[in-house]
Amino acid sequence: MNFDEIITLDKADPLAKKRLEFDLPANTIYLDGNSLGALPKSVKSRVAEVVSQQWGNDLIKSWNSHNWIDLPIKVGEKIAPLIGAAQGQVICCDSISVNLFKLLCSALKLNSERTVVLSTKDNFPTDLYMVQGLSDLLGPDLCQLQMVEEQDIQKNLTESVAVLLLTQVNFRTGKLLDMAKLTQLAHEKGILVIWDLAHSAGALPVELDTCEADFAVGCGYKYLNGGPGSPAFLYVAKRHQEAVKQPLCGWMGHAKPFAFDANYQPSPNINQFQCGTPSVISMSVLDAALDVWQDVDMLHIRNKSEALADVFINLVKVHHCLHELILCSPDDVKLRGSQLAFSHDAAFAICQALIEKSVIADFRAPNILRFGFTPLYTSFEDIWLAVTTLVSIVESEQYKEQRFNVALKVT
């Protein structure tokens, strides 16, 4: 594969023009959109308008005149088609962690004869922590976390399990779980399933309704490009909405928040899953960012994501010096999300050397080098340049000469 072939791939890419809708830094190859998505151009004018006009000029009236009050629903409905959810099931609010707490409590209550929350040892830590916190609060008689290896999920789907909590795409390896199959197997045992879509919403077609998922949470700041610490979202299948009652019942989840009644009455719909006052500025940023998706076909996203990873792997294979990089992601493209992970003893140093040469990848302890592909704005040329830079670093062994400070990185 040579550079001309790469350019041909970019020319044939139906998503190539979407890159123009983003403000990308000059002379930088950004392969970390799975950690923090890039800035959609439309955000800058929107945030200026929300701050200067809506807040500064119209002040409190904007709750009505600019419809701030409906933002959580409006943004939720924009996310819904990206995750295969029909209307009335998705709302934008709080963080993934807080939303998981709401859904864990809801699911345990629906399945109150059982106590076990089953998850994987390698799930993203906050998901596990939120179960541990709930278990501490309720006691082990009401909630216990059971962690198993990914390959052992199926055999642990027993009738003591109340809730199966899985992240669809593993944050380290990029391994994609089979949502349809696992949801069905869980349901056969009377288990409710919560899917964490942090690394899948916007990265690949997600089919919550088709898979008959029960609950899901997801992230605004990765593939949805909602900016650092963007509000998260949650999904509750319509069939559960009447029966569930979540405990973080702040005033925005009340059936009539402006009646200022002293007794809580949950909203009869997805609004119940709101808690406090919505984060209007951040949520408006996400709202603007989501407009990028209006004319995007998720199958194009998936096809390009697969092709980008395929090119990356092929280029790694042809460079002998890169053979020390061991692919930790599944070989089969169908079993991967939109990222590749390689292990290397010097992964941290290599990652820092790449960043110094403006190829932004990221490192995950203990020894993982992670490259994220965001089909809206990653080009095939980016992949070529990234691997070329990687080759120059590994070949010259530059990374061995340098000392790097341990850097924080937020997934």
Nearest distance, CB of residue 291 and its own copies, angstroms? 16
CA atoms within 13 A on the CB side of 84: 22
How does DSSP classify residue 220?
S
222 carries an active-site annotation:
yes
Nearest distance, CB of residue 341 and its own copies, angstroms? 13
199 is an annotated ligand-binding site residue: yes
- In this complex, which beta carbon is closest to its own copies, that of residue 16 or of residue 147? 147
- In this complex, which beta carbon is closest to its own copies, that of residue 61 or of residue 181? 61
- In this complex, which beta carbon is closest to its own copies, that of residue 211 or of residue 280? 280
167 is an annotated ligand-binding site residue: yes
Query: Tell me, what amino acid is at 202?
Result: G
Q: What is the DSSP annotation of 314-329?
A: HHHHH-GGGGGSEE-S
- In this complex, which beta carbon is closest to its own copies, that of residue 3 or of residue 264? 264
Phi-psi region of 88 (alpha: psi -120 to 50; beta: other; left: phi over 0): left
196 carries an active-site annotation:
yes
277 is an annotated ligand-binding site residue: yes
- In this complex, which beta carbon is closest to its own copies, that of residue 193 or of residue 360? 360
SS3 275: coil
Catalytic choice (19, 46, 114, 222): 222
> Tokens in use for 360?
């932004």
295 carries an active-site annotation:
no
Catalytic choice (30, 124, 312, 342): 124
129 carries an active-site annotation:
no
- Which helix (H) or strand (E) element contains residue 215? strand 215-218
Q: d(Cα 141, Cα 199) in Å, to the nearest integer?
A: 32
Nearest distance, CB of residue 83 and its own copies, angstroms? 19
Q: State how far the alpha carbon of 308 is from the alpha carbons of 79, 304, 311, 379, 381, in Å.
A: 24, 6, 5, 8, 10
SS3 7: helix
Handedness of CA 113, 130, 244, 81 (dihedral sign): negative
- In this complex, which beta carbon is closest to its own copies, that of residue 140 or of residue 229? 229
Nearest distance, CB of residue 220 and its own copies, angstroms? 10
Catalytic choice (13, 32, 94, 196): 196
Nearest distance, CB of residue 317 and its own copies, angstroms? 27
Nearest distance, CB of residue 246 and its own copies, angstroms? 8
> Tokens in use for 246?
């979540």
Q: Give CA torsion, residues 115, 120, 124, 126, to 10 deg.
A: 20
Most distant CA pair in the chain, distance: 70
SS3 5: helix
Q: State how far the alpha carbon of 271 is from the alpha carbons of 93, 101, 212, 325, in Å.
A: 10, 16, 21, 47
126 is an annotated ligand-binding site residue: yes
* Binding-site residues from annotation for pyridoxal 5'-phosphate: 96-97, 124-127, 167, 196, 199, 221, 251, 277
* Binding-site residues from annotation: 96-97, 124-127, 167, 196, 199, 221, 251, 277
Active-site residue set: 124, 196, 221-222, 370
